[in-house]
Structure 1
Amino acid sequence: MFSMTGFGKGEYKADGIEISVEVKTVNNRYLDVAIKSPKIFNAYEEIIRSAVRERITRGHLDVFVNYIDKRERPKSLYVDAGAASGYCAAAKKLKDLFPGLADDFTLTALMRSPDVVRQEETQGADEALLNALQAALCKALDNLNAMRKKEGEKLSDDMLSRMDAVEKLVDEISARAPLVAAQYKSKLEERMKEILNGAAYDEARLLTEVAVFTDKANIDEELTRLRSHIAQFRNICREERVGRKLDFLVQEFNRECNTVCSKSNDLKVTDCGLALKNEIEKIREQVQNVE
């Protein structure tokens, strides 16, 4: 089992290339990947997304890429004519406003102005740089999954302990359920005797009323399904990517629990049903953190 939250970092340093990749994840219903990387890697974002999809199925991921390339590679200078024109116009306006000041605005000064001249590589990322990116990314994802798995084990232990509490409550309801009809029959007899003031009453009619009540209050099917869900839950927790399965199963738990509470005509069964709903809600909250 994997948690949907975690952090992983991977680095590559060799042959003048230094790349650092950081990945952090938070809960999300589907897989959503956001990439922040230098411009040189813009054309290769699908490589990053593909590597993520191989290891992760759900969650929002932020991928941060930083690099330093110390290799000797051909470079070119880009001149931003618009920025240069803006600086020249500003210099002329200042000269008109302050004619008494000496004018030392030269071509060299213009070249040193921000964004006028930028150094750019003549080509995009080469094979060595892409291999380094993939190596750093794989390390980051491996470290991320190691953290997510460790956290997932804790989530699994917590949910399984709560499932033990759920099973105990189901056992209590199962033990109590057969007594409900008998208590109803006893109360109904007392009520009829009180109303009839000791006169004889129709025993067959009484048994019919008890039978109708027993049928309406019968929760055997719901208890059987709850026990089946408990077994399924424990089996699913042994798997890895289980978030969607557990989402569905918790909904089924809630459905059966609601039916038990609606059929209940007994205070103890109702109390156990409400406690059961409380445990299921706590499990549901934890399931939201599972991939």
Structure 2
Amino acid sequence: MHSMTAFARKERVESWGTLVWEIRSVNHRYLEPGFRLPDSFRFLEADLRDGLRKQLQRGKVDCSLQFQATVNRDAISVDAELVQRYVQAADSIQAQLKNPAPMSAVDFLFRPGVLCENSVEREVLSEVALSLFAEAVKELQDVRAREGAALVLVIRDRLQKLREQAAVVRMALPEILAAQKQKLRDRLSELTGEINQDRVEQELVHLAQRCDVDEELDRLDTHIKEVER
């Protein structure tokens, strides 16, 4: 038996950044996965869903991925070839102007594409994110299994108490029925006038039928045995 509610968190720190998976699950009739991913990881969603379906069958499962890139000064470089083309274009324009203002390196620094960030390869991000996700799902399953085992003990304890209470009621039934009959006779004895004994016997039979809960107790015992299977 597995609990439907659980939480798992897995973190991986690499030279290029930190990945954190958080997975929460609650009870649901079917498997309903949901993913919150950074834009740079959206391409993984189909693979993540397939992997989750292979491991879980039920539950509303919310999966969240956080990514914090490491600031690396060495990861920034300049596209020298592109800068050269910008310079040539600027020289061509300046040649056609009268008294053009001088241009500095800063004028080229923020041109589109001049600064390049040596980002992590997509394959590396994919491999680490999927591997870490599998670890988080495994931890989620372990948590659900532990909570399920604890729930089994609680349910068995409740079932045993129900069985004990049912036994107490079953043993007390004859005494309860006798007390109800005596109560009815006492009330009848207080009445004046002629009493129809046949009617009294009929009422006693009806009273016994209303107090007879053997069938309900048998049904309860069957339910308890079915839950314990």
Checking the alignment, whether the CA contact within 8 Å between 2:23 and 2:64 is kept in structure 1 is yes
Checking the alignment, whether the CA contact within 8 Å between 1:174 and 1:223 is kept in structure 2 is yes
Cα distance change, pair 140–118 in 1 and its aligned pair in 2 (3 A): farther
| Distance (whole Å) between structure 2 residues aligned to residue 173 and residue 108 of structure 1 | 91
SS class of match (1:3): coil
| Distance (whole Å) between structure 2 residues aligned to residue 36 and residue 55 of structure 1 | 19
Checking the alignment, whether the CA contact within 8 Å between 2:108 and 2:114 is kept in structure 1 is no
Checking the alignment, whether the CA contact within 8 Å between 1:9 and 1:139 is kept in structure 2 is no
| Distance (whole Å) between structure 2 residues aligned to residue 193 and residue 19 of structure 1 | 88
Within the alignment, does 1:48 sit opposite 2:48 as a pair?
Answer: yes
Which residue identity is paired with 2:42? N
Checking the alignment, whether the CA contact within 8 Å between 1:19 and 1:133 is kept in structure 2 is no
Which residue pairs with 1:289 in the alignment? Answer: none
Cα distance change, pair 185–33 in 1 and its aligned pair in 2 (3 A): same
Which residue pairs with 1:148 in the alignment? Answer: 144
Which residue pairs with 2:65 in the alignment? Answer: 64
Checking the alignment, whether the CA contact within 8 Å between 2:21 and 2:64 is kept in structure 1 is yes
Checking the alignment, whether the CA contact within 8 Å between 1:32 and 1:58 is kept in structure 2 is yes
| Distance (whole Å) between structure 1 residues aligned to residue 197 and residue 114 of structure 2 | 104
Checking the alignment, whether the CA contact within 8 Å between 1:181 and 1:210 is kept in structure 2 is no
| Distance (whole Å) between structure 2 residues aligned to residue 211 and residue 179 of structure 1 | 16
Which residue pairs with 1:186 in the alignment? Answer: 182
| Distance (whole Å) between structure 1 residues aligned to residue 151 and residue 130 of structure 2 | 31
Which residue identity is paired with 1:49? R
Checking the alignment, whether the CA contact within 8 Å between 1:5 and 1:27 is kept in structure 2 is yes
**For the pair shown, which has the larger CA radius of gyration, 1 or 2?**
2
| Distance (whole Å) between structure 2 residues aligned to residue 117 and residue 211 of structure 1 | 100
**Could you list the per-position Cα deviations for residues 108-164 of structure 1 after superposition, in whole angstroms to 9, with x for gaps in the alignment?**
57x29xx99986899x944x5434333221111111211221122112212221221
Uncovered stretches (5+) of structure 1, i.e. residues with no partner = 78-103, 236-291
SS class of match (1:29): coil
Within the alignment, does 1:107 sit opposite 2:103 as a pair?
Answer: no
SS class of match (2:24): strand
Cα distance change, pair 176–187 in 1 and its aligned pair in 2 (3 A): same
Q: How many residues align?
A: 198
After TM superposition, give the deviation of residue 190 of structure 1 in Å: 1.6
Q: TM-score, normalised by structure 1?
A: 0.55
Instruction: Give me the identity figure in percent.
Output: 22
Which residue identity is paired with 2:126? L
Which residue identity is paired with 2:28? R
| Distance (whole Å) between structure 1 residues aligned to residue 63 and residue 129 of structure 2 | 16
After TM superposition, give the deviation of residue 221 of structure 1 in Å: 2.2
Which residue pairs with 1:273 in the alignment? Answer: none
Q: TM-score, normalised by structure 2?
A: 0.67
Which residue identity is paired with 2:132? A
| Distance (whole Å) between structure 2 residues aligned to residue 169 and residue 119 of structure 1 | 76
Within the alignment, does 1:217 sit opposite 2:211 as a pair?
Answer: yes
Which residue pairs with 2:197 in the alignment? Answer: 203
Checking the alignment, whether the CA contact within 8 Å between 1:19 and 1:136 is kept in structure 2 is no
**Could you list the per-position Cα deviations for residues 52-95 of structure 1 after superposition, in whole angstroms to 9, with x for gaps in the alignment?**
2222311342332537699xxxx9x9xxxxxxxxxxxxxxxxxx
SS class of match (1:195): coil
Cα distance change, pair 3–108 in 1 and its aligned pair in 2 (3 A): farther
Checking the alignment, whether the CA contact within 8 Å between 2:8 and 2:24 is kept in structure 1 is no
Checking the alignment, whether the CA contact within 8 Å between 1:5 and 1:25 is kept in structure 2 is yes
Cα distance change, pair 185–200 in 1 and its aligned pair in 2 (3 A): farther
Uncovered stretches (5+) of structure 2, i.e. residues with no partner = 80-103
Which residue pairs with 1:24 in the alignment? Answer: 23
After TM superposition, give the deviation of residue 210 of structure 1 in Å: 1.2
| Distance (whole Å) between structure 1 residues aligned to residue 182 and residue 190 of structure 2 | 12
Q: 2:130 aligns with which of 111, 118, 134?
A: 134
RMSD of equivalent CA atoms: 4.0
SS class of match (2:134): helix
Which residue pairs with 2:166 in the alignment? Answer: 170
